[in-house]
């Protein structure tokens, strides 16, 4: 029997970044820790990762917008 795990859209996106972004673009070392930090700010969700080797910081920003209902 197949079990389904339910993740929030934010957790799904974080998992995707962990899978796709595995090398630091500055020092080119493989990330030891792949967990991106998630911060909510107004209509933005920021994903942040700091390279444990060189300290370089990467951010991905997802902007949320609601339809204008008049």
pLDDT, averaged in runs of 10, over the chain (70 residues)? 69 85 87 82 89 90 79
CB distance 29 to 51 below 8 Å: yes
pLDDT of residue 1: 45
Whether residue 35 contacts residue 11, with contact meaning beta carbons closer than 8 Å, is answered with no
Name the pTM for this structure: 0.68
pLDDT at 22: 82
C-alpha–C-alpha distance, residues 7 and 66, integer Å? 22
* Beta carbons of 31 and 50 less than 8 angstroms apart: no
């Amino acid at each position: 029997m197949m079990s389904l795990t339910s993740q929030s859209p934010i957790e799904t996106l974080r998992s995707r970044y962990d899978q796709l972004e595995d090398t630091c673009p500055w020092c080119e070392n493989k990330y030891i820790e792949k967990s991106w930090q998630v911060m909510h700010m107004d209509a933005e969700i920021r994903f942040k990762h700091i390279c444990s080797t060189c300290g370089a910081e990467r951010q991905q920003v997802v902007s949320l917008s609601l339809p204008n209902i008049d």
